Amino acid sequence: MNIQGANSTNWGTLSKAQQTNDNSENKSIMLQNKSKGSSYTALEKTKEDLLKAKEELMDKKMSSEEKKYKLDEINKKLAEVEAQIQEAKIQERKREEEKLKEKMEKKQSEKAASSDEVRGGVIISESLKNLIESRDAMKNIRDMKVTKANLVRERGWLVTDGNSDSYVTRHHNKLTAGIIGLDNSIASESAKIIRKTSSVNESNVEEKEVDSKSKEDKKEDKKVADKETEIKATK
């Protein structure tokens, strides 16, 4: 079987993918399609077709020079498609981080608009809101730590060769940048939690001071009342 004839569809798909890649300055195919899901599926299908073509080529009888040439071509295409897949994953993670950031900023904006608010006819105090937001921030931190762990694990699979222009090195650097960004976001969220809980503690202290003062006033009033009763009894 002629490998070029048997896989003409595969090579045609790869040619179009390469042309799109060149015209858009190495931007991911996935990011250029309107349907993100279908684009990702197309990339995975292209990768699968290439792997099948490679397997068929390994079993085909031909000169070692010709087989090596064809294998090199397939491996090159595989690397290009894999790079696009990984880039799409990174972009998706960035979108998730942006959504998380927007969610947090929205909460802060709502808080600034009103210290106390009404939910279902119940007034939610500022201190309770702080506790709720601290709980949400802790969940965000847990989510970011999970994402960071995935990036660290993925980076651990890569073995750099010292070539700064190679795909592996570039991808390694992107993962490192993503990890650093998550560390900064986690630190920022942790600082917010500290501020929120400090605010709650200060509020509790003030309430205790007011309550204590109220009790002292009551004791003093009782002493005065007892004294008046005592004076009346002696008359």
> What spatial distance separates the first Cα and last Cα of the chain, rounded to whole Å?
126
Question: Are the C-beta atoms of 50 and 77 separated by less than 8 Å?
Answer: yes
Write the single-letter amino acid at 180.
Answer: I
At 211 the pLDDT is 52
- DSSP code of 25? T
At 129 the pLDDT is 66
At 39 the pLDDT is 72
Written as six digits, the tokens of 35 are 């349907």
Q: Which pLDDT band, with edges at 50, 70 and 90, does 130 fall under?
A: low
**pLDDT above 50 for 210:** no
DSSP string, 127-165: HHHHHHHHHHHHHHHHHHHHHHHHHHHHHHT----S-TT
Between 155 and 219, the more confident residue is 155
| Residues 88, 31: Cα–Cα separation, whole Å | 7
Residue 70's contacts (CB-CB under 8 Å, 6 or more residues apart) are 3, 57, 62
Q: Which of 25-39, 155-169, 183-197 has the lowest mean pLDDT?
A: 25-39
How high is the mean pLDDT of the chain? 71
Q: Which long-range contacts (CB under 8 A, 24 or more apart) does 152-161 make?
A: 152/179, 155/179
Q: For 5-36, what is each residue's pLDDT tens digit?
A: 444 444 454 445 445 444 444 444 444 444 55
Q: What is the pTM of this model?
A: 0.33
Between 225 and 166, the more confident residue is 166
Neighbours of 230 (CB within 10 A): 9
What dihedral angle (degrees, nearest 10) is formed by the CA atoms of 89, 91, 92, 94?
A: 130
Question: Are the C-beta atoms of 30 and 43 separated by less than 8 Å?
Answer: yes
Q: For 60-115, what is each residue's pLDDT tens digit?
A: 888 888 888 988 998 898 888 888 888 878 888 888 888 888 888 887 777 665 55
**pLDDT above 60 for 231:** no
